[in-house]
Structure 1
Amino acid sequence: MRYIVEIKMESVQEILDQLYRKVLLGATLEDDLHGYIFYLNPDLSEQAGCTASSVARSDVSDVLDGMAGQHGVTILPEAQECSRRQLQMSRAWEVKLLQLTVIDMILSRVLSAETKSHAKAGYKELTEVLLQSIELDSKLIHVLQNSDKLLSYLAAKCLASLLYFQLREKKMLSNSWVTFCQKHLSESSEGGEAAHCLCVLAAVMKEIFKDAHSQRAESLKQLLTPFDNTFEAFYNSLFSQHFGNFKNPSNIISSLMCFLELLELLVASRIHLKLHLRSQRMLFLKPHALDILAWPIPAFIKRKLVILIKKCLLCKVGEDFCRESVPTLMSPDHLLDSDMLALADAILHAIHLGLWKALTVPGKPSCFGGDEVQPGCRLRAGPDHVTLRAASLITVKSLEIKFQNCTSATEMKADLQKFLPEFLAFLKPQLQPSLQLHNPCEWLSRVFIEQDDDMLEAAKASLSIYLHLTREWDTSASLTPEKEAWFHSTHGHGYNPHCIFLFFLKNIAFDSTVLLDFLISSETCFLEYFVKYLKLLQKDWGHFLSTCQFFAAAESQCGVSVHDPFPLPAHGTSTSYTAPHAPVGENACPWIPWAADASSEPQSQPKETHPVPTNGPPSRTPQSLVDYDSSEPSDEEATDEPLADSKQTSLCQEMPGEIQGLPRTCNGKERSWEPQARPLLAAEPSSPFSDDGGVAPDGTVWEAGLFLRTVRCLEELQGAIYRLQEKNLFPYNPAALLKLLKGVEAKCDNM
């Protein structure tokens, strides 16, 4: 009897091993598929383990008796029973692991497009037989709750593939699974079963996103509809409590990780697949999840939440697991715009209540698998810049979204003075060395120095804030005390667009080839930001010159504490004055006046108006590249409207050969965009501009070095774009971009 049972156990493992090898090679299965059902039943391992207990008992007894006779010791019966039980459990465990591995391989072959049709038909038939005869879904749910993590993981993997198979084949979703999830997600948020449900559902959603078939939206709707209300109830239960009220913190941490991943997938399905379910809006309308930033939980969970909110505000959710990017030319989604506004308002309210004060940014580097540093690794000084960048971008983007829907300039100024000082107070302790007291605008380049795409998103949002606040101003008019006070405020609150642009150029060493790379690349929003800034630069030229002068005054005297880049003139005094010479070492700074008033501006420049947006959310439909050319006198522009998607992918597609009468190539035709052979500014001895800087004849301090490097960088960029356009090597028609650069050149000529 012992010999017969032992042969049976060996035959089970041998048959499973042979089946695994066949499936691994994608071979066609035999006609008798029903013969495999017995060996793939997860209950078989438990039955086989019990049947083999007599074999194990005899084998272990023989081994232990031999050891006792050899060493002269007596083996207690309790030790023999313990050894037999361990051998029995080990045998059953190995068989079950092999079963789950084979089932997962079969499902992978069914779902793979590379499997041959004849072999796929056999695997598909075997899967359907397993579902009908042994209720494979119920068996996998039972193994999913096993305390052994490896068994539970393999069961979750098999169950996700099985559910995805049902969705692909347009079969009814497993009733056992729907009931199991609804029960455990509704009862308690700290049970281990809830984390299993969330993990499996997230895995199924990822498979749907990866598939290229056209029925993804229908499949996802079929999966999520039974759990729409359940997700919302679980969300409220999880985030409405205090962390100290939970009895099992370890399970809560697992549930948090799984649920944050599921939230990202829900939002991504709304953006990419245009689904409209209640559970997709709960993060926007009920941002209770922000409360966990004050919980005593691991920092990587807080980082995951902050990054998720950043992606939501940028509409970049799902980029990690979606093969295609968000369509650029998509219909406006006013419901999503209103939800974005609700989320931005909630974030700003939480910031005002001390959200960032509760967020800890530890000095440990981000490590795979958690926050612990492996032995032998050296700690890097400084905060977690991933979290710091996300928090910074969340603040600026929330303000931009709110200002896009705000009609009161007074309200916008009040919000700016309320939120930005708190944000800068949060940043200053994190940055070492600390920010320059005389120019808080440096925060953007310091925080985002290692992440180009986020840096340009933050710069674009900051520029948009500035444009919204100054849209009713006539920038060509003379400087007034109110304007000068406002320019002082832009420096003090860290959003002066000219300072930010100069810091950006300084970080890339005024290298025009870097700007060209950004313009050609589709990985950042640099084109949109650069176009908006060039348009602002032509209208706000005097402010740009004053900013260059301020850089000279601040950086030429080391150790001087500078606080007011734009001193307010006394009432009745002229706003055009000369800065006094400050002796070297004197604790004073040569403050710089407004460089160009209305008398220095050409009278032919049209006055441009910026309409105040309506109460409704702005349209999300992007404009084409040619729409940003607004230098004609009859044009009216609104620079605060989005020009394109955050990615420049659509702008790199083929465009018409002519735009506004401009040829794509200039061979044999008049070249209206040919760069001048001379420099934009001649550095003559009599000129107040020189590479080393200096003092103009009227006593005004000029930062000519910085100014000339900036202008020459733009000139070199203009020439490079023209040469590429002439050879048909530029990825899109840059005619309008060149026209904006020519406008900057004209400003220099008028000086």
Structure 2
Amino acid sequence: MEGVEEILDQLYKKVLLGGTLEDDVHGYIFYLNPNLSEQADCTTPSLTRSNVSGTLGGVPGAKSPFEMSRAREVKLLQLTVMDVMLSRVLSAETEALAKEGYRKLTEGLLQSAEVDSKLIWMLQNSDKLMSHLAAKCLSSLLYFQLRAKMALSNPWITFCQKHLSESPESREAVHCLWILTVVIKEIFKDTHCQQAEMLKQLLAPFDITFEVFYNSLFSQHFGNFQNPSNVVNSLVCFLELLELLTASRIHLKLHFKSQRMLFLKPCALDILAWPIPAFVKRKLVIVIKKCLLGKMGEDLCRGSVPALMSPDHFLDGDVLALADALLHAVRLGLWKDLSVSGKPSRFGGDEVQPGCQPRIGPDYVTLRAASLITVKSLEIKFQNCTSAAEMRADLQKFMSELLTFLKSHLRRPLRLYNPCEWLFRVFIEQDDDMVEAAKASLSIYLQLTRGQDDTSGRLTQENEAWIHYTHRNGCNPHCIFLFLLKNIVFDSTVLLDFLISSETCFFEYFVKYLKLLQRDWGHFLAICKFFDAAKLQCGVHTHGAVTPSLVQDSRASHTIQRALASPVGHTVPHALASPVGHRNACPQVSWASNASSEPQSQVVMARQAHTVPAHGPPSQTPLSLVDYESSEDSDEEATNQHLANYRQTSSHQEMSRETQGLPRTSQNRKERSRSREHQQRLLLPLQSNPPNCATGEVAPNGAVQEVGLFLRTVKCLQELQDAIERLQEKNLFPYNPAALLKLLKVVGAKCGKV
């Protein structure tokens, strides 16, 4: 026994360093061949060289605990050496001579020692460590066979087909799914091999077996399972396998029946109502999200889909079937059964220290995924629907379900006057999903308003009805775009980053929105008025995100409706400009209560000119992120803070221009000065505000003022256009922005005519 351990230890060190095997490789087969007899003496050469059937027979005589422990250590060492050796064989960094020796040793273990059969036997061992190491070795061995263009192990195929067809809750089924998943991932990672041929060889024997397993796992009630823990493990492994199967359909153009199971058989959605851990439900929702967005396997498949490959004509129909199935489940109350309660996360762990109040927020990962697949399913359905009445009914039905679902989980309630803020309340921390949701909402609006143009800048009665309808259902595209600008503090450099980055679909969304803006100009102006009216009505306006205030007075909603219905050039009624009126209509809410669960926002002054008093009750002073009540110079510090924030933002933007290679020349300053003078001549939502007072600046009379939302939007788009043009002149823009610049110039021309 000691001799075997010593030789295995030397072999392990040599293989770990990638050394060459000087001796005859066939001599190592004796030491690497596992002895499956639990009673025989491990030092007996005849038993060590025997096959599976011979070793399983055993030799009479019991072994002491010490001998059994030593035998276990030898098996674990054998598995470790095989795992390292297989990784060296498959690695491109291993020297050719050493790799050839490892390859011959592996082939010898397969042919003479039947190591694949012995690994399958060890896979079923109750010893979890030994079972896991056997699974790792078996997955590497299968990948080695695929790379070497050898036939797959027949014992392995038989083993998988048997256990996947019999019971979805057995340990053996979990091992089969895990090994298959690991092998498929390795194939995706290796871009130098023939991925399609290897995957076809691997999946062909299990195509029917996967469908049988899918039906047996998802078609029965959770209470009928005898081993719930194994069912959870099967669900986790099988959901990952389903994503990989779909990814192979997209990226490698393979066609198997098992790749369409999730699309055509929506019974997998039933597990969202099962009493299983929340992370399993989250995994299913994320898999469905990737299927609807076409992002299956995006972490593994780095390259884009080859253009020369024939398109999958069934994929669009399958995605539509999945979207219809999801919407049907939502209609039946799918989100009512989904729990998204999160756990408290702290630097020191989940335990609450004595004297501390536990703050548990919702699981935003699940909230984002559930919201996105609902909106995306609506978009897919509307793209294949021609009935406007049906689309309107579906929009109201499913968006109402979604908003009800979100209101029950968000700690701060949504604005009553603008449900469109739900998108940024949910997606503010995830840029890619946020842009996807915005693009889907925009596509829904375009489908609903096909054939309606508003280039004249006037709102018809039908268009006004559409404004109210889209507001009520939280999918108004102009509200969503303005909320986006407000959340990025109208920083054009953030939009530029979005346009340059390939991590989001912002370019596609932005181009579609600019095209809509040209034909929906009157609607956009009305929405700007709507935001300004709502801001004045509430008395508090957030610079980066939405305000926590709620419109609780019926007069507030009525006044906002008047702002929407009034002509574009009409000013906001004087009643809204009264500081007492709008302060009473919308009570102020402290930020401190929700600071831990919601994204922080920068609070700025309302557009109405407020004179900062030297003394006064806190309820009559603008809200701030910092409580200044304990300071003697609270009002003065609050004003200085707003000025510092404004100067810091300006300095940050200048630094961003310098880091991007945009010099601050005198000519650029003159251009910006002329642009600023032109923008100051544009229409302001309130004509009483002085045009020379920028956001957050202090006027000569000591009042803090803010320019209108329309002017800030125009300024942001103009800065974006200037930045793109400067980058294009230096050939630093990653693609040709000519079409984008053309759209921005058209929008700029419309702004100049206001």
TM-score, normalised to structure 1's length?
0.78
Q: CA deviation at 1:564?
A: 6.5
- Equivalent position of 2:511 in the other structure: 531
Q: CA deviation at 1:678?
A: 2.8
Alignment of 1:743 onto 2:740 = no
CA distance in 2, matches of 1:685, 1:340: 47
Q: Deviations over 1:618-639 (max 9, x none)?
A: xxxxxxxxxxxxxxxxxxxxxx
Q: CA deviation at 1:556?
A: 1.2
Q: CA deviation at 1:579?
A: 5.3
2:259 paired residue among 280, 284, 290: 280
- Equivalent position of 2:10 in the other structure: 18
- Check 1:494–1:569 CA distance in 2 against 1; reply closer, same or farther (3 A cut): closer
Q: CA deviation at 1:339?
A: 0.5
Q: Deviations over 1:14-34 (max 9, x none)?
A: 000011111111111134222
- Stretch of structure 1 that moved more, 34-43 or 198-207: 34-43
Secondary structure, counterpart of 1:275 in structure 2: coil
- Equivalent position of 1:712 in the other structure: 715
Q: Please tell me whether the aligned partners of residues 522 and 568 of structure 2 are also in contact (alpha carbons under 8 angstroms).
A: no
1:468 paired residue among 447, 458, 467: 447
Q: Counterparts of 1:311-330 in structure 2 under 5 Å?
A: 311-326=290-305
Alignment of 1:509 onto 2:501 = no
Secondary structure, counterpart of 2:226 in structure 1: coil
Q: CA deviation at 1:363?
A: 2.3
- Check 1:91–1:685 CA distance in 2 against 1; reply closer, same or farther (3 A cut): closer
- Equivalent position of 1:350 in the other structure: 329
Q: Counterparts of 1:229-240 in structure 2 under 5 Å?
A: 229-240=208-219
- Stretch of structure 1 that moved more, 409-418 or 298-307: 409-418
- Compare relative contact order (CA 8 Å, sep 6+) and give the higher one, 1 or 2: 1
- Equivalent position of 2:176 in the other structure: 197
1:581 maps to a residue whose letter is: H
Q: Which consecutive unaligned segments of at least 5 residues does structure 1 have?
A: 1-8, 53-80, 591-673, 695-701
CA distance in 1, matches of 2:234, 2:385: 38
Alignment of 1:293 onto 2:272 = yes
- Check 1:456–1:34 CA distance in 2 against 1; reply closer, same or farther (3 A cut): same
- Equivalent position of 1:609 in the other structure: none
Alignment of 1:226 onto 2:205 = yes
CA distance in 1, matches of 2:363, 2:257: 34
Q: Please tell me whether the aligned partners of residues 537 and 744 of structure 1 are also in contact (alpha carbons under 8 angstroms).
A: yes
Q: Please tell me whether the aligned partners of residues 549 and 703 of structure 1 are also in contact (alpha carbons under 8 angstroms).
A: no
Q: Deviations over 1:586-620 (max 9, x none)?
A: 47989xxxxxxxxxxxxxxxxxxxxxxxxxxxxxx
Q: Please tell me whether the aligned partners of residues 50 and 88 of structure 1 are also in contact (alpha carbons under 8 angstroms).
A: no
2:424 paired residue among 433, 438, 445: 445
Q: Deviations over 1:180-215 (max 9, x none)?
A: 000001111111111011011111101111111241
1:33 paired residue among 8, 25, 33: 25
CA distance in 1, matches of 2:155, 2:231: 25
Q: CA deviation at 1:320?
A: 2.1
Q: CA deviation at 1:118?
A: 1.3
CA distance in 2, matches of 1:32, 1:684: 89
In the alignment of these two chains, the number of paired residues is 621
1:679 paired residue among 673, 676, 680: 676
- Check 1:578–1:24 CA distance in 2 against 1; reply closer, same or farther (3 A cut): closer
1:341 maps to a residue whose letter is: L
Q: Counterparts of 1:204-283 in structure 2 under 5 Å?
A: 204-283=183-262
Secondary structure, counterpart of 2:475 in structure 1: coil
- Equivalent position of 1:630 in the other structure: none
CA distance in 1, matches of 2:425, 2:729: 37
Q: CA deviation at 1:134?
A: 1.3
Alignment of 1:729 onto 2:732 = yes
Alignment of 1:335 onto 2:314 = yes
Q: CA deviation at 1:703?
A: 9.6
- Check 1:497–1:14 CA distance in 2 against 1; reply closer, same or farther (3 A cut): same
Q: Please tell me whether the aligned partners of residues 310 and 394 of structure 1 are also in contact (alpha carbons under 8 angstroms).
A: yes
- Check 1:257–1:675 CA distance in 2 against 1; reply closer, same or farther (3 A cut): same
Secondary structure, counterpart of 1:302 in structure 2: helix
Q: Which consecutive unaligned segments of at least 5 residues does structure 2 have?
A: 45-60, 539-549, 587-670, 692-704
- Stretch of structure 1 that moved more, 86-95 or 150-159: 86-95
- Check 1:163–1:570 CA distance in 2 against 1; reply closer, same or farther (3 A cut): closer
Q: Deviations over 1:123-174 (max 9, x none)?
A: 1111111111111110000000111111111100000010111111111111
Q: CA deviation at 1:568?
A: 8.7
1:254 maps to a residue whose letter is: N
Q: Please tell me whether the aligned partners of residues 249 and 259 of structure 2 are also in contact (alpha carbons under 8 angstroms).
A: yes
- Equivalent position of 2:619 in the other structure: none
CA distance in 1, matches of 2:345, 2:310: 38
- Check 1:219–1:134 CA distance in 2 against 1; reply closer, same or farther (3 A cut): same
2:83 paired residue among 94, 101, 104: 104
Q: CA deviation at 1:731?
A: 1.3
Alignment of 1:124 onto 2:103 = yes
2:753 maps to a residue whose letter is: N
Secondary structure, counterpart of 2:192 in structure 1: coil
TM-score, normalised to structure 2's length?
0.77
- Equivalent position of 1:454 in the other structure: 433
1:11 maps to a residue whose letter is: G
Q: CA deviation at 1:85?
A: 3.8
Q: CA deviation at 1:525?
A: 0.7
CA distance in 1, matches of 2:683, 2:99: 83
CA distance in 1, matches of 2:415, 2:133: 54
Alignment of 1:488 onto 2:468 = yes
- Equivalent position of 1:56 in the other structure: none
Q: Counterparts of 1:651-670 in structure 2 under 5 Å?
A: none
1:492 maps to a residue whose letter is: R
CA distance in 2, matches of 1:513, 1:580: 35
- Check 1:748–1:39 CA distance in 2 against 1; reply closer, same or farther (3 A cut): same
CA distance in 2, matches of 1:566, 1:214: 63
- Check 1:393–1:708 CA distance in 2 against 1; reply closer, same or farther (3 A cut): same
Q: Counterparts of 1:364-375 in structure 2 under 5 Å?
A: 364=343, 373=350
CA distance in 2, matches of 1:360, 1:326: 36
- Check 1:569–1:106 CA distance in 2 against 1; reply closer, same or farther (3 A cut): closer
CA distance in 2, matches of 1:555, 1:85: 82
- Equivalent position of 1:381 in the other structure: 360
Q: CA deviation at 1:528?
A: 0.7
CA distance in 1, matches of 2:156, 2:214: 20
- Check 1:366–1:36 CA distance in 2 against 1; reply closer, same or farther (3 A cut): farther
CA distance in 2, matches of 1:513, 1:248: 54
2:502 paired residue among 522, 527, 533: 522
- Check 1:404–1:684 CA distance in 2 against 1; reply closer, same or farther (3 A cut): closer
2:243 maps to a residue whose letter is: E
Q: Deviations over 1:418-465 (max 9, x none)?
A: 110011000012112111111100001110111001100110111011
Secondary structure, counterpart of 1:307 in structure 2: helix
Aligned-residue CA RMSD in angstroms?
Answer: 3.1
Q: Deviations over 1:355-410 (max 9, x none)?
A: 11110001215899xxx946879965310101111001101111111111111212
Q: CA deviation at 1:334?
A: 2.4
Q: CA deviation at 1:734?
A: 1.2
Q: Please tell me whether the aligned partners of residues 323 and 380 of structure 2 are also in contact (alpha carbons under 8 angstroms).
A: yes
Identity of aligned residues (%): 70
1:351 maps to a residue whose letter is: V
2:31 maps to a residue whose letter is: Y
- Check 1:405–1:326 CA distance in 2 against 1; reply closer, same or farther (3 A cut): same
1:683 maps to a residue whose letter is: Q
